[in-house]
Amino acid sequence: MKYLAHVTTIAALATGCLAQAGESESEELEQGVSTTYVDILDFQHTDQLAWYDLIRSLDTQFNNECGDTFCEGDWSNIHALTFSCSVSSKAGSVRDCVWTFAAAQVQVDPRNAAILVNAPTFQCPIKMKTTAVKLQKLLNEADDKLRAPLPGAPSINEQLSDCFDNPIGATPGTLSTTGSLSYVSANDYYTSAAGIDRWYAAKRALVAGFDRVCGDTFCSGDFGDLQAMDFTCAITKSTGNIKSCMWTFGGSWHLVPEHGGMQAITSQTFRCNVPVKGTLSKLIDTLTAPGSDTAVNRILPGTTATAYEALLGCLP
């Protein structure tokens, strides 16, 4: 009987070892050629609403802190687009995470009123060794989500540190060297605090109007994360008349291949001409006037069209 007890104990230990080996082997197979992958949102154990809330929290923290961190560099208005991950379809092992961003440097040529836009995107890989469920739990419980250490990898904030040194699709412009200095950006036209505040209130009204309509219009297509970035106008300094206006947007979309799991990402910016005739003051009055209609749906000075209609032929 003692011999049988020993045999039983050894068998139990062997079974435990085999189970552990099986689990380890299973984890290795998760990266094998037979493994299939899905977007983390499509993984069966992902709480989609909680994931969306988590991503909004990450975006908000990044946007709140960017002015004192990454946006102090070459790109002063970086916008977060989408944080996405691919995971194995069975165990949810994280295969590939990428956070996309867009930025815009916009200036008005003071000699010919041309609006020069340098608007690249950034695709920032975020490495980690974990599962979808554990990742969501870790970040949800973290007070500082950007700086929370990731399993087997540095924090998101640390991994972003070099990404913004590698813009995709940057197109720096060249200013004219001939002609008089007759034009200025609307951002620089006013010198009084009141005038500056009025202009930025008009820009905020445009962005708020775009955000309100985007979900049912432009953001219902492939580029579901479209972000309104810089809106500016070229202004004649002596008269305040508008020469032209341009609105810049950024967006991305992510595709997870079933085999391999490395995301195929398209990130892009869009430069949209917005026709306006008249003075900058008149444009501001139009965009900020009280009313139930949003700024993007108001007829622009000197035209019969709205900013929304101007975007129809520009955004995807």
- pLDDT in the model for residue 264: 98
CB neighbour list of residue 305: distance below 8 Å, 6 or more residues apart: 275, 299
**pLDDT value of residue 74:** 87
Element (DSSP H or E) covering residue 65: helix 48-66
Q: Is 277 exposed, middle or buried (0-12, 13-18, 19+ CB in 10 A)?
A: middle
H runs (alpha helix) in 67-130: none
Q: What's residue 32's pLDDT?
A: 56
In sequence order, the β-bridge partners of residue 108 are: 115
Q: What is the pLDDT along the chain (316 residues), one digit of tens a residue?
A: 444 444 344 444 344 443 443 433 444 444 556 899 999 999 999 999 999 999 999 999 999 999 999 999 889 999 999 999 999 999 999 999 999 999 999 999 999 999 999 999 999 999 999 999 999 999 999 999 999 999 999 999 999 999 999 999 999 999 999 999 999 999 999 999 999 999 999 999 999 999 999 999 999 999 999 999 999 999 999 999 999 999 999 999 999 999 999 999 999 999 999 999 999 999 999 999 999 999 999 999 999 999 999 999 999 9
The pLDDT value recorded for residue 139 is: 97
Model pLDDT, residue 14 = 42
d(CA 45, CA 138): 15
CA distance 213 to 256: 28
- Given this model, what pLDDT does residue 33 score? 63
pLDDT of residue 73: 86
Check residue 31 and give its pLDDT: 53
Beta strands per DSSP E along 29-93: 37-39, 79-88
